[in-house]
A and B are shown apart, each in its own frame.
Chain A
Amino acid sequence: MPNPPFRQPPTSPLSKPTAAHHGHPHHNHHPSFSSGSSSQHPSRKPSIVELLSSPPPLPVQTPDHDDIHGFSLSRHTSNSSRSSSVMNAAQHASTSGLDWSEIPLKDLTESNKLITINASYSVQKAFETLVTHNLTSIPVLLSSSAKDCLTFDYSDLNTYLLLIMNKISTNDLAIHEIDLPLGSNTTPGTGTDDAKKHELVTQTISRAKRGEEVPVEFIIKLNPKNPFIKFSETDTLFPVVETLGNGVHRIAITDSDNKITGILSQRRLIKYLWENARRFPSLDCHLNSTLQELDLGSSTPISIYEDQLLIDALQKMSHERVSSLAVIDRTRSLIGNISIVDVKHVSTSKNSHLLFKPVLNFISYNLSQKGIEEGQDQFPIFHVNNQSSLGRVIAKLVATQSHRLWVVESSNRNHSNSMSSTNTTSSASSVNNGVGSLTPATVEATLGAVPSSNYTPTEAGRPGKLVGVVTLTDILGLFASAKGKKTDPSFARNQRRGSTSSATRSSFESLMNPASTSASTTAGGGAPNEDIFRKSYVSSQKSDNVFSK
């Protein structure tokens, strides 16, 4: 690289010309053979791929900027017109003056899209509602006041399925969250109370196995989940990002009457932040850094082998309290991905045979279904490597509408052009790639090729060995910590794992936000013991807006 572009300090992102925006010497996204373009331009322009790893231009309409190509990522747009559009955005931001952390939640409410269901719905009907509206989670109103609220999502359906198939024991569930029917002579805190709950649970499961209807309330209380956190629409994004950065996937937005007016998910929030990133200078500081530099993501992703049975994968997700698993072959090469949402494909008799087939069959089925529905096939797995920039990671997450990207080993596998049996036929080669990789070739590659007679699909063009995962939780947590708030990406998951023991939900919730400590000591009306456990859902006067200032 003859003229390394100089790197702007992160404090003035909006004033730096876009050409230097990604002049990061550490990650090299230069196309290796677009010699045509670089020889024609005296200063090094960022490649298109680099530009796409930066936040999109804002859709600002200014009278003195008719040239629509100023907003284009087309390589033939001049730098000056591009930077002027950025300057216009800066002016816009300075007049409104708000950084992302000060944006009120109300700006993100999409209340016209809110669907809720009643706690008396059957599990089947609740599932059908998810499918009809193409949702992955839905609020369940526990009472007519519409303030008590839990959610039904595919982790509940998964638990329900596994219970029916005798694949999880009731000890793994939050039995104490179940309400005994009124008038059943409860003596709180005694063994008989617990025993009665156990019996109720067992009976209900038997009914489910017989194909009888079971109210959704049963499963959503039984399944160990995080409480459904509510924020007021007057709250700012800052505490929301902090909560989501702790691993919670979505929160409820409430109005001044404490009625739920909308849901904000991690996915929707990251999309909003990315598309508006040029308005928010504080987001810019890490976008050029690599995952490795930021130490972002987990290096112990939870995975399953392609030849294990699907039912084992579902069980693993339930047991580990995670919403997806990487699917790998026996050499740890990444093949695909199973999400808890995929349980919707095996919830009816038509496809239940897939439960006892290898996971790879299920992935094939899923990908095929999706491809037919969308009229186009997707790449089997969405992944990045540790040298990918944060901007690139977010851009890909937003474009693919994913919750996570799997991190694979970056390798410079040599490809062979020979047909002789002593060389491998090639796998993902970086020689012709626009994105170079700076890590040395893997041991396997340097040790030499696999003879083609031993050629198996397990070596065939796989993206590489799975080494980690980066999620929306990690990224939102990074944004929160950039503002001074430490988050723990595994917090919510640990809460789910711990919530099968008694009296933990509300205490964890108070840990999550110090503002709610007052709520954890009071009990609402009714039987005191049960209410301690359900405190997070009960809208007593104090605990209503536990996160309000």
Chain B
Amino acid sequence: MSRYDELPWKFEPRPSTSQRLNIHTSPNTNARTIQNIKQCKHIPEADVEELCSKVIELLIQEANIQHVDTPVTICGDIHGQLHDLLTLFKTGGECPGTQYLFLGDFVDRGFYSLESFLLLVALKVRYPDRITLVRGNHESRQITTVYGFYDECVRKYGSVNVWRYCCEVFDYLSLGAIVGGKGGVFCIHGGLSPDIETVDQIRILDRKQEVPHEGGMCDLLWSDPEDVQGWAISPRGAGFLFGENEVNTFLHHNNILLIARAHQLVMEGYKEMFNQGLVTVWLAPNYCYRCGNIASVLTIDDDLNREYKVFEAATQDVGAIPSKKPAVEYFI
């Protein structure tokens, strides 16, 4: 239990269903679960609870800023577009063969938020060292109640329990990652905070909570880079806008070469800014099935070189997306 004593907070791990019932889950069960999720089969609520419990036991041991070795493929917002996530695994390599780092915003918007999230969670349980999950601003109770995930869970399960289990997992997700150690890549969902100058300051935060409305933890998940002098208040109503100077200062102070983040739709899939000091990556192609953007992932190799791979939305099965007949619109 000594490992738990190092953590800045106290907790009591909840016994998982399998532990309570003395059932020993085997890797085979996990593999079956993963397959079922990929095929959008209904996962029994008890299994969802168990899966969430198990992943929390893993996430508890992770740091606020998780260290990730190279090579790794970094991915941006998914927003429930499960089929595009599957395309990614097909083209970028399946986990565990390829190591992945996801920058949050797994849920809301797309029709398969739950499956997308559970797939990543199941992969984390199965291959804990081959996939890293970072929290996005949508991994939050307040956001998911208005942006779609809550509704999806209630629709698919008839109760709020599954949503609750997932929200508990959200609370344990890391806030960011550093790839490759010194001179490496700092990865977060949103951006920088005026309250945070060093990575060490992030390390001492208490992350196990709902995303606050303001402050360092909120800013990391909500801020955006912008051509501003210094800092500005964000038009989003949370987080800040930060300019090139702030990026350079942060890179210099923390001995990193690049900030990799997501959080904003990029038509070309990825966008570098500030003399290649920052990049935005985005994983959901043809966002919301109509934006017409492409997606991209960033692979960092052992020499800390960057390689961008782009891809378009997969041609979907007819049954995959609930179709909307284009209706003639009448004025009232």
Binding site for B on A (CB under 8 A): 31, 33-34, 36-37, 47-49, 51-52, 68-69, 71-77, 124, 127, 160-161, 164, 211, 335-336, 347-350, 352, 360, 363-364, 367-368, 371-372, 375-382, 395-396, 398-401, 415, 417-420, 425-435, 452, 455-457, 460-463
Is A36 a contact partner of B245 (Cβ separation < 8 A)?
A: no
Are A364 and B12 in contact, CB atoms less than 8 angstroms apart? no
| Contact A461 B140, CB 8 Å, known A352-B332, A379-B222 | yes
Residue pair A435, B236 in contact (C-beta under 8 Å): no
At the interface with chain A, which of B84-92, B94-102, B199-207? Answer: B199-207
Which chain B residues (315-332) contact chain A, with CB distance < 8 Å?
327-332
Contacts beyond the supplied A31-B195, A452-B164: 12 A-B pairs with Cβ under 8 Å: A68-B229, A349-B328, A372-B288, A375-B291, A376-B224, A379-B238, A398-B233, A417-B209, A419-B11, A420-B12, A426-B171, A457-B160
- Say whether B229 contacts A71, CB under 8 Å: yes
Instruction: Decide if B201 touches A364 in the complex (CB within 8 Å).
Output: no
Q: Smallest CB–CB gap between B230 and chain A, Å?
A: 3
Taking a contact as CB atoms closer than 8 A, the residue among B142, B240, B264 that contacts A460 in the complex is B142
Q: How far is the CA of A428 from the CA of B266 in the complex (A)?
A: 30
Majority DSSP secondary structure for residues of A touching B: loop
For B205, B287, B332, the residue with the greatest tally of chain A CB atoms inside 10 Å of its CB is: B332
Q: List 23 A-B contacts (CB under 8 A).
A: A31-B195, A31-B216, A33-B204, A33-B205, A34-B201, A48-B194, A48-B231, A74-B246, A76-B249, A336-B146, A349-B329, A364-B148, A367-B147, A376-B263, A377-B143, A400-B236, A401-B235, A417-B11, A419-B13, A434-B195, A435-B214, A435-B215, A460-B142
> Which residues does chain A contribute within 8 Å of B206, judged by CB atoms?
415, 417, 431-432
Q: How far is B159's CA from A455's CA once the two chains are assembled, in angstroms?
A: 12
| Partner pick for B201 among A33, A161, A452, A455, CB 8 A cutoff | A33
Interface, chain B (partner A; CB < 8 A)? 9-14, 56, 109, 137-138, 140-143, 145-148, 150-151, 160, 163-164, 167-168, 171, 193-198, 201, 204-206, 208-218, 222, 224, 229-238, 240, 243, 245-246, 249, 263-266, 287-288, 290-291, 327-332
Whether B148 contacts A462 by the Cβ 8 Å rule is no
* Cβ–Cβ < 8 Å partners of A378 in chain B: 235-237
Chain B residues whose C-beta falls within 8 Å of the C-beta of A160 in the assembled complex:
332
Neighbouring A residues of B151 by C-beta, 8 Å:
364
Once A375-B265, A428-B210 are accepted as A-B contacts, the answer to whether A418 and B160 lie under 8 Å apart by CB is no
In whole angstroms, what is the CA distance A428 to B141 when docked? 11
Which 6 A-B pairs have CB atoms at the shortest separation, nearest pair first?
Answer: A48-B194, A433-B215, A460-B141, A73-B230, A375-B265, A379-B237
B195 surroundings in chain A (CB, below 8 A): 31, 33-34, 47-49, 434
List the A side residues contacting B137 at CB < 8 Å: 377
- Rounded to whole angstroms, the CA-CA distance of A418 and B209 in the bound complex is 10
Determine if A462 and B236 form an interchain contact, defined as CB atoms under 8 angstroms apart. no
Q: Is the interface of B mostly helix, strand, loop or mixed?
A: loop
Shortest CB-to-CB span from A368 to chain B, Å, is 6
When chains A and B are docked, how far (Å) is the Cα of A132 from the Cα of B12? 56
Min CB gap B80→A, angstroms: 12
**Complex alpha-carbon distance, A242 and B163, angstroms:** 50
Chain B residue contacts of A31, Cβ below 8 A:
194-195, 215-216
| Bound CA span A381–B246, Å | 27
Asked if A379 and B215 make an inter-chain contact with CB atoms under 8 angstroms apart, the answer reads no
A352 to B204, CA, bound (A): 50
Chain A: CB-nearest residue to B13: A419
Is the pair B233, A72 in contact by a Cβ cutoff of 8 Å? no
Chain B residues with CB under 8 Å of A48's CB are: 194-195, 230-231, 240
Residue in chain A with minimal CB distance to B164: A455
What's the Cα separation between A76 and B231 when bound, in Å?
Answer: 12
